[in-house]
């Protein structure tokens, strides 16, 4: 654990960034490059975001590491094709240090709320360490940070330990115990093979099966690491290859759904080879198109659930004492319960704590307007830029690509907002017409995609059934659309007209 940060927070700054994971680090890097003073506010005691918080056994990234890293900070030393979480966490700490981003980092700062003041044209942040005013606010608090705790009757009275994958407690023993895992998403399929040898019995509560494809993870040999260090261009070539292969997959998800049927056929054949038990096989086979929910990568999940000590059962309906009761009424006695039940994504919790014009929360405003311009800006919240906001999540490529595009864009936008006389600050609010045109375009593009037509219920959908989390196109298009900040998309106001 890092030493507690006791430096006083500055009370007024040009730019405040909330969150110091990949998003906050990328934003701070671009602002620094542009010569804009800023601070980074982080509620934990160090940088790292999701890769600091997720420490469950088996946690790793399912996007290849060369691609799942910042383009301006390549790491020739990745140990594996898909680096484990701890290695990504260490990478982020090293990048923040090397880039001297930590000078402007304040840790242990929980931002309770942010309010736009039309009188002063500033954002006022109430934090656990005091008040901060800033001209431009960047929210990089991440979409996958608040664990989703399912509302299961009796859960609070379960007599054994209850863990969520995103709040793992390594001190809780699993050895020789009967462990239940709720969920079969990205986290569960990494966790289950990683703990199976430690437990006496493992019960996996599955509500919806996932499509699972081979991961083909392997170590990166020393000679390759040396090659990448010596000739960084060789690593860039590998990264480009990985990027464009994924763009082809996204193309299928966006407009060639027939190709997904073929991928499903391949996955079914693999399932048939790896899971001999006919009943188990039929329970593991999804009834929607691959990609509708995130398609998962694993080399060992199917083999693991075929083992004697593992059972895949129906969704968990209630807990009665030590017994977990499934929807079919079956009872399973457990010592430890693990919730691999994902996150509260729509809206992200911070969107309920940021209030723009007329005190309207960003979360409510996104719902009203059907999303945000480029996923980052909304008419009701001037001088605010949101990373990994509405319709910028990905199901098939590296989020770092989107984050970097957003960081470059917001640095340009921030430079425009801060240009001119500090006594008469500019207020940039995206034009409502531009925002509407953009959200209509998103809706049209989404209409033919697997996320809309794939036949599943996923966390990509909001409460109205709108696909609110995912970018409906290949990512090169987002990069192109965000390459240049265009002031014509924004209404530039002075404080007295800012209503
Ligand atoms: P998730 O994909 O949302 O999966 C949650 C699982 O819990 C699903 O199987 C879900 O079932 C089940 N579940 C949720 N609420 C439930 C309830 N009330 N009753 C029964 N089952 C319930 O969560 P996750 O696995 O933590 O992954 C979240 C996201 O994090 C991923 O989509 C991915 O973007 C990211 N992630 C990435 C990696 C990586 O390697 N890059 C690793 C882990 C996570 P249903 O399917 O029926 O809803």
pLDDT for the residue 346: 84
Mean per-residue pLDDT, 185-211? 98
Ligand 1 neighbour 187 (Cβ under 6 A): yes
Task: Give the pairing type, strands 39-42 and 12-18.
Answer: parallel
Mean per-residue pLDDT, 234-242? 98
Least confident of 101-105, 132-136, 349-353, 393-397: 101-105
Mean per-residue pLDDT, 97-109? 93
Least confident of 192-196, 206-210, 409-413, 415-419: 415-419
Ligand 1 neighbour 146 (Cβ under 6 A): no
Return the residue whose CA atom lies nearest to atom 3 of ligand 1. 342
Measured distance CA(219)–CA(238) in Å, rounded: 15
Has this prediction a pTM greater than 0.85?
A: yes
Mean per-residue pLDDT, 108-116? 97
**Do the Cβ atoms of 11 and 133 come closer than 8 Å?**
yes
Measured distance CA(448)–CA(441) in Å, rounded: 12
Measured distance CA(178)–CA(14) in Å, rounded: 54
Measured distance CA(111)–CA(18) in Å, rounded: 8
Residue 341 alpha carbon, nearest atom of ligand 1 = 7
pLDDT at 408 exceeding the cut of 90: yes
DSSP code for 237: H
Return the residue whose CA atom lies nearest to atom 28 of ligand 1. 342
**Do the Cβ atoms of 474 and 398 come closer than 8 Å?**
no
pLDDT for the residue 345: 84
pLDDT-derived band at 421 (thresholds 50, 70, 90) equals confident
pLDDT at 498 exceeding the cut of 50: no
Residue 456 CA, ligand 1 centroid: distance in Å: 14
More confident residue, 465 or 192: 192
pLDDT at 497 exceeding the cut of 70: no
Residue 425 CA, ligand 1 centroid: distance in Å: 43
If one residue of 53, 154, 186 were mutated to test the ligand 1 pocket, choosing by the most ligand atoms within 8 A of its CB, it would be: 186
Ligand 1 neighbour 150 (Cβ under 6 A): yes
The order of strands in the sheet holding 323-326 is: 316-320, 323-326, 331-333
| Domains within the chain, CATH numbers bracketed | 12-146+344-497 (3.50.50.60), 155-218+226-339 (3.50.50.60)
pLDDT at 150 exceeding the cut of 90: yes
pLDDT for the residue 499: 42
Ligand 1 neighbour 280 (Cβ under 6 A): no
pLDDT-derived band at 435 (thresholds 50, 70, 90) equals very high
Mean pLDDT (the chain) is 95
């Amino acid at each position: 654990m890092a030493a507690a940060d006791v430096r006083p927070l500055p009370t007024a700054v040009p730019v405040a960034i909330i969150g110091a994971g990949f998003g906050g680090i990328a934003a701070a890097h671009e602002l620094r490059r542009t010569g804009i003073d800023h601070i980074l506010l982080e509620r934990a005691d160090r940088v790292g975001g999701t890769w600091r918080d997720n420490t469950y056994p088996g946690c790793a990234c399912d996007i290849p590491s060369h691609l799942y890293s910042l383009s301006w900070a390549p790491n020739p030393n990745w140990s594996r094709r898909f680096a484990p979480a701890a290695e990504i966490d260490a990478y982020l700490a090293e990048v923040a240090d090397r880039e001297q981003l930590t000078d402007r980092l304040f840790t242990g700062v929980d931002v309770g709320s942010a309010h736009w003041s039309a009188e002063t044209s500033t954002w006022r942040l109430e934090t656990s360490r005091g008040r901060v005013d800033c001209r431009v606010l960047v929210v990089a608090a991440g979409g996958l940070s608040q664990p989703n705790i399912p509302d299961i009757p009796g859960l609070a009275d379960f007599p054994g330990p209850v863990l969520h994958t995103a709040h793992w407690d390594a001190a809780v023993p699993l050895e020789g115990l009967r462990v239940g895992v709720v969920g079969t998403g990205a986290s569960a399929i990494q966790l289950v093979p990683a703990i199976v040898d430690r437990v006496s019995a493992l019960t996996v509560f599955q509500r919806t099966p996932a499509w699972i494809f081979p991961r083909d993870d392997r170590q990166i040999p020393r000679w390759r690491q040396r090659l990448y260090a010596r000739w960084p261009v060789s690593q860039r070539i590998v990264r480009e290859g990985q990027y464009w292969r994924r763009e082809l997959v996204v193309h299928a998800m966006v407009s060639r759904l027939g190709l997904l049927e073929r991928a499903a056929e391949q996955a079914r054949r693999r399932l048939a080879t790896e899971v001999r038990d006919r009943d188990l096989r039929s329970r593991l086979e999804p009834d929607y198109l691959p990609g509708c929910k995130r398609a998962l990568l694993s080399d060992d999940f199917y083999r693991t659930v075929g083992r004697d000590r593992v059972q895949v059962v129906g969704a968990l309906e209630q807990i009665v004492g030590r017994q977990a009761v499934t929807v079919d009424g079956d009872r399973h006695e457990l010592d430890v319960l693990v919730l691999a039940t994902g996150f509260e994504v729509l809206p992200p919790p911070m969107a309920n704590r940021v209030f723009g014009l007329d005190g309207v929360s960003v979360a409510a405003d996104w719902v009203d307007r059907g999303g945000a311009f480029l996923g980052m800006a909304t008419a009701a919240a001037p001088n605010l830029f949101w990373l990994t906001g509405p319709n910028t999540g990905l199901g098939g490529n590296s989020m770092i690509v989107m984050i970097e595009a957003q960081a470059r864009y917001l640095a340009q936008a921030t430079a425009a907002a801060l240009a001119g006389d500090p006594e008469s600050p500019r207020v940039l609010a995206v034009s409502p017409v531009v925002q509407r045109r953009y959200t209509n375009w998103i809706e049209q593009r989404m209409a033919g995609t697997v996320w809309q037509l794939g036949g599943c219920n996923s966390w990509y959908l909001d409460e109205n059934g709108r696909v609110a989390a995912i970018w409906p196109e290949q990512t090169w298009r987002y990069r192109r659309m965000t390459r240049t900040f265009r002031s014509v998309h924004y209404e530039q106001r002075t404080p007295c007209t800012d209503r």
